[in-house]
Structure 1
Amino acid sequence: MFWHAAWERVLGDASGWHTNWSWALGIVFLVLTVRVALIPLVVRQVRSQRALQVLQPRIKALQEEHRGDFGTLQTKLRELYRAERVSPLASILPMLVQAPILFGLLHVLRHLRPAVTSAGARTLYGWTLTQFDSAASAKLFGAPLAATLGAGGPSLIVAAVLIVVMVVATFLTSRQLIRSTGWAAEAQGRLVQRLMLVGVPASLLVSGAFFPLGVVLYWTTQSLFAYAQQTWILRRFPPVPATH
């Protein structure tokens, strides 16, 4: 609502190219706000990952030394992390913080449908009835933000283009990371990398066909930002060369 109001103040009731720009840009800048706010956590995550890469030889040595003694191994690993001021949990912190935000935003966007007619449901998130009706009927290049790819017409074309951009950006992000770090030596690690490279884009391709256009716009913006952010991270914090 903040970004919608801001863009409405700047653009007025702009609807060029059959697009309600204040609502479309509201979704885009909502994603950018969340992602920018998480940059400090992402930087901390990357630094932790690089530190763990440096510690890998010592970690493997402890694993060999205490093979079969899980309790002692965990104690030694905690001591090592504490001494080097490294936290393995830092690598998943951005994901944990972002997850409820993403699910919440997706729920709000999926809720914006003209089919929702109950006054209680339309004002569920603090919307006024006028705001809800305006958002639910907003369009992107002639396609309603609440419509899905299956609606046909402009919705089919706009959704298809956004889905392709989203899938390609996600694939390039995974490929870029794998190229920078190399394929994992272990079979399990390689399986995870293949799932990230092929499985995640494939799942977005399928799910994008069922999500409302507003959600697809959200994920496309998210994917493009993730690719740009990772490009910057790999230049600012290059991966640690593998040691043997």
Structure 2
Amino acid sequence: MENSRNIIFVVVLSMALLLGWDAAMNYFYPQPDEPVVAAEAATTPVEGGEVVHSRTGGLTDPAAIAQEVADLDTALTSGNRVAIDSPKVAGSINLVGAVVDDLVLKDYAETTDEDSGPVRLYSPRGTPAQHFAQYGFLVNGQKVPDETVWNADGEVLSVGTPVTLTHDAGNGLELQLRYSIDENYMISVEQSIANRSGVPIVAQPYGLVSRTSDTASADFFIAHSGPIGVFGDSANYDFDYSDLDDDGPANPEGRAEWLGFTDIYWLSALVPQDGAAPEATFRALGNDTYRADMIYDPVTIPAGRKYTTDSRLYAGAKDSTILDAYEDAGLEKFGLAIDWGWFRWFEKPLLWLLKNLYDLVGNFGVAIIGLTIVVRGVMFPIAQKQFASMAAMKAIQPKMKALQEKYKEDRVKQQQEMQKLFKEEKVNPLAGCLPLLLQIPIFFALYKVLYLAIEMRHRDFLWIDDLSAPDPATILNLFGLLPFTPPSFLAIGVLAVLLGVTMWLTFKLNPSAMDPIQQQVFSIMPWVLMFIMAPFAAGLLLYWVTSNILTLAQQKYLYSKHPQLKAAAEKEKAEKAAAAAKAKG
């Protein structure tokens, strides 16, 4: 009867865990109701006008997508534009307002479809996916109007070919914006104002990035989405879009080294002049639009003088190698645009190893398998010690039972004598836990690497199109043959099943003696984990399945080296089974 109650308790607990996990995933990691019909999803309008954000960001609502395409056709073919063409980005600068509002990333496709276009980062003001940057001036406290049409001295901004925009503001004032671009994603902007009038003027250069949150990626606990920057000596991930709606403008403490908006894979950031301390503000503008501003202190420009400020704009992919290179060149903590968290000292070496393995084998799925082999190889000596310790523990089992019986009325004395026995026999009872404890940071670090690193985006392996996304081959819809999408907690893919099977086999192979309830829990646990892990990145499941297979091979090998361990455990299991059968009889 007691065993039956325990079994019911385990089953109920497992179901609660599954349903609770699904509810948590839907809360933190919601999926759009409609199939993704364009780009890498971000938003789908739902009842009440709310917006659902998916993992990677972009538009998914068919009406918004159609409107975006129509608006782009109108806005980008209307003239008054200077083209941008560099190795990694293409687009244009709108001469009306001198706005950088058209930018696509050449190296990244919107979707995994072969005919997919490039990721669009910037779209003009007023479009459903509006996202743009602007540099300009306040002159005697007045902003140069956005309707101002600037003149350009060139037709294409490219590496080594800067373009200067000029505006005659009247009264002897000439404003200039000189744009240049490097081979990556950094645009430099030299803002100049020449005062040829007969009186001093007061000028304030500024820069801003404005965007809609409708295209934002989900703000997940390991992947910040929203306002970001380095202020003082630390990166700031404290604000999200709802904070700006609820609390008003935010002015982080400390000098702004850079600031802007981030998604899981993309960054748009303003970089002030070296040594300058502009006022930095994040603010909500209403209608799900937001702005990051940097405005320099007022400066008086005497008659006949010219004043110049050098700023920069990063608009592109969060490639850790590129970000770190800018940081090495002096851009403070720019690598922290990727929210690596506390374990970045562990995650970045894993990413480095993964990329180097990819360079060797040419496929990230194979590289993950190789990474697993390397990790398990490094931990193999620890596993050997674990099995040796288990063998020693089995050898002293009779002495332990004798001490438990002798001091069963005095638990403190029993523990003291146990510790003394362990010391005399040179046995560490915790040695078996060490491999598991070491695996935890490795597993979490790999989870973050697969989730955050753009290097993993759209990397395929066998039937998987994107190792950073869940396994698409789910059983309930016959691996995509049936036209429906199972709910997330039932979307069990091939890798999730392999995870459950291989974990069950590792538990079966392990001959450690357990009581019946422990056996029931361990027999259920692999299948509970199968459901829990199914929505995770396919690359993470690939790592775990490979690790389980290596564990099976390792256990076979080590049991062959310690036959007394397996024999003792099997004997104990047989004795317990016989005792249980006798009790039932």
Q: Pick the TM interval, shorter chain.
A: 0.7 to 0.9
The offset of 1:59, in angstroms, is 0.7
- Equivalent position of 2:74 in the other structure: none
CA gap of 1:96–1:201, structure 2 versus 1, over 3 A, is same
Corresponding residue number in structure 2 for 1:139:
460
Map of 1:2 onto structure 2: 353
The match for 2:443 among 97, 102, 117 is 102
Tell me which residue corresponds to 2:496.
Answer: 163
Equivalent residue for 1:63?
A: 404
Structure 1 residue 160: Cα displacement: 2.5
2:550 counterpart residue number? 225
Distance in 1 (CA, whole Å) between partners of 2:392 and 2:539 is 39
Contact 1:149/1:155 (<8 A) preserved: no
Residue in 2 that maps onto 1:75: 416
Q: How much has 1:154 moved relative to structure 2?
A: 11
Q: Which amino acid aligns with 2:558?
A: I
What amino acid maps onto 2:539 in structure 1? G
For 2:505, which of 172, 178, 196 is the aligned residue? 172
- The CA distance in 1 between the partners of 2:434 and 2:400, in whole Å, is 22
**Are residue 212 (structure 1) and residue 537 (structure 2) matched?**
yes
Find the partner of 2:560 among 210, 214, 235: 235
CA contact (8 A) 1:24 1:140 kept: yes
Identity among equivalent positions (%) equals 27
CA RMSD of aligned residues (A): 2.6
Q: Is the CA contact 2:372–2:546 (under 8 Å) kept in the aligned structure 1?
A: yes
| Whole-angstrom distance in 2 between the partners of 1:154 and 1:222 | 27
Residue of structure 2 in register with 1:17 after alignment: none
Equivalent position of 1:201 in the other structure: 526
In structure 2, what is the Cα distance between the partners aligned to 1:44 and 1:236?
12
Q: Determine if contact 2:501/2:526 at 8 Å carries over to the other structure.
A: yes
TM-score by length of 1: 0.74
How many angstroms does 1:193 deviate by?
Answer: 2.5
How far apart, in 1, do the equivalents of 2:468 and 2:549 lie? 22
Amino acid at match of 1:136: R
For the residues of structure 2 that align with 1:164 and 1:234, how far apart are their CA atoms? 26
Of residues 374, 396, 401, the one that matches 1:33 is 374
Are the equivalent residues in 2 in contact too, given 1:148–1:155 (CA < 8 A)? no
- TM-score, normalisation: structure 2: 0.33
1:151 deviates by 8.2
The amino acid across from 2:549 in the alignment is L
- Matched position secondary structure for 1:88: coil
User: How many equivalent pairs are there?
Assistant: 205
Please say which structure displays the higher CA radius of gyration. 2
**AA of the residue aligned to 2:521:** L
Q: Which runs of 5+ in 2 are unaligned?
A: 1-351, 482-491, 576-585
Q: 2:242 aligns to what?
A: none
Amino acid at match of 1:140: F
Cα separation, 1, equivalents of 2:545 and 2:435: 19
2:271 maps to which residue? none
Return the letter of the residue paired with 2:554. Answer: Q
Deviation readout 1:200-239 (Å, 9 max, x if unpaired): 2212320232111111111111111111111112222122
Structure 1: gaps spanning 5 or more residues: 15-20, 113-131
Q: Normalized per residue, which structure has more helix?
A: 1
Q: Which amino acid aligns with 2:448?
A: H
Higher strand share: 2
